[in-house]
Amino acid sequence: MAFPDTFRWGVTSSSLQSEGVAPCADWSSWERSGKAPRSLDGSGLAVDFHDDFALLRTLGLTDVRLTIEWARIEPIPGRIDNDAIDLYSDIVRAARHNGLRPWLTLQSTTLPGWFNEDEAGFRDNRMRNNFWLPHVERCAEAFGASAEGFTPIDDPIGWALRGYHLGNRPPGLRDAQKFRDAVLGALEADHGAAQLLQSNGFQTMAVRGVPTVFGLDPGAEPHVRFWTGFLFDTWIDALDSGEFHIPDADSHRRESWTQDFDFVGLSFDHPIAISGTGALSPYPVSARCADNGFAPLPEELGVLIERMAERLPDRRFIVAANGLSTTDDDWREEVLRETLDVLETMVEEGYALDGYFHDTGIDGYEFRKGFETHRGLIGRDRHLKESAQFLARTISSSSSSGGDQG
């Protein structure tokens, strides 16, 4: 394969996947109430990180996305756990020491319970300014020397969608107004953090979950417009012009938002289909589904990149998360091969694609299935799967090709 020498090859995971839940995180009550399986210590990264980073580096990887769990650093509002900061500092430095460039995510899926359950969290301007932004500044100071860059919030709209519209993540609500408030608040928090980080000289990456959307019948059109409006138009317009519209709400304008991110990260596993009743289905309906209930379709990643490049022609893109929930590693390798074929074509055609991050590196905790399904290239017992060896060969052959694409 012919990827440029500068192409970033990485893996990613959330703190919940790799460390297990923090006792003071909102997900902790989710587990205690039986709404999710127990996460234990995730993949065990917090214990084995020196060896884990060395193992990941043997695959030829260049970058890694790590999540800093806010609920570990600030378990009680205003009370900082310096031991947690020291541990995360050791983890970030160990990644760098092993030749992996760390991209630090400051919020992925979980939040401190005192922020998101006891208070209105990102929906509240006071909570954003008095707690979220000081946390961002604290992380920049503590970990910035070893960081390659920062992702403030991993998929802010997806976080709001699951927590306030679908109700399948904390706080588990289905409230139209709070959902719209959460979308706007999460975007405000994401961009505000990016501005703070950029002002201190750090690179920033906006990561957005962007499945392509299909209607199953003519009655699905209003639902397709709803999902497309939130998952695409809202954040794209914010980056493109600074003027954006949340469906069924007032328009907003933040001209400075067009400059807040150095990279646009696309998180994509599969497309989704929607029926006239608003029910979500895999696409195609008859396709083989992963353990999350949806079907991977790598060609749609190419469609997505084309669409993004048309809407944001001056941006650099990274596939920031892409993976498959399955215990069938042969299938994982097959899908990974098809995915990289698509990306190679996009690079050869001149699209501004700067990297690929597989989700995830090492098997850990998964939100719906716990430890019953796998997403990693490496097993929880640290054995290299065939999919990992395939990726290693791909990276090696790409490097030896001379990288004349870049």
Overall number of domains in the chain: 1
Q: Tokens 């304008």 label which residue?
A: 253
Predicted local confidence at residue 178, as pLDDT: 96
Can you give the pLDDT of all 406 residues of the chain as single tens digits? Answer: 689 999 999 999 999 999 999 999 999 999 999 999 999 999 999 999 999 999 999 999 999 999 999 999 999 999 999 999 999 999 999 999 999 999 999 999 999 999 999 999 999 999 999 999 999 999 999 999 999 999 999 999 999 999 999 999 999 999 999 999 999 999 999 999 999 999 999 999 999 999 999 999 999 999 999 999 999 999 999 999 999 988 888 899 999 999 999 999 999 999 999 999 999 999 999 999 999 999 999 999 999 999 999 999 999 999 999 999 999 999 999 999 999 999 999 999 999 999 999 999 999 999 999 999 999 999 999 999 999 999 999 999 987 665 443 3
User: For residue 297, is it within any domain?
Assistant: no
State the CATH number of the domain containing residue 195: 3.20.20.80
User: For residue 323, is it within any domain?
Assistant: no
Predicted local confidence at residue 404, as pLDDT: 41
Using alpha carbons, list the distances in angstroms from residue 134 to 26, 104, 191, 192, 214: 20, 16, 14, 11, 41
Integer Cα distance of 86 and 66 in angstroms? 15
Predicted local confidence at residue 398, as pLDDT: 85
Q: Strands, E, within 117-164: which ranges?
A: 149-151
Short-list 11, 145, 135, CA closest to 69: 135
User: For residue 300, is it within any domain?
Assistant: no
Predicted local confidence at residue 114, as pLDDT: 98
User: For residue 186, is it within any domain?
Assistant: yes
Integer Cα distance of 395 and 356 in angstroms? 11
Count of residues making up the chain: 406
Predicted local confidence at residue 401, as pLDDT: 61
User: For residue 226, is it within any domain?
Assistant: no
Short-list 342, 350, 352, CA closest to 312: 352
User: For residue 239, is it within any domain?
Assistant: no
User: For residue 202, is it within any domain?
Assistant: yes
Q: Which range marks the domain in which residue 37 is found?
A: 8-208+328-400
User: For residue 391, is it within any domain?
Assistant: yes
Predicted local confidence at residue 1, as pLDDT: 65
Q: Kindly report, residue by residue over 146-202, the tens digit of the pLDDT.
A: 999 999 999 999 999 999 999 999 999 999 999 999 999 999 999 999 999 999 999
Predicted local confidence at residue 406, as pLDDT: 34
Measured from the Cβ of residue 278, the count of other Cβ atoms closer than 10 Å reads: 12
In sequence order, the β-bridge partners of residue 355 are: 8
Instruction: Give the pTM.
Output: 0.97
Question: Cα 386 to chain center, whole Å?
Answer: 24
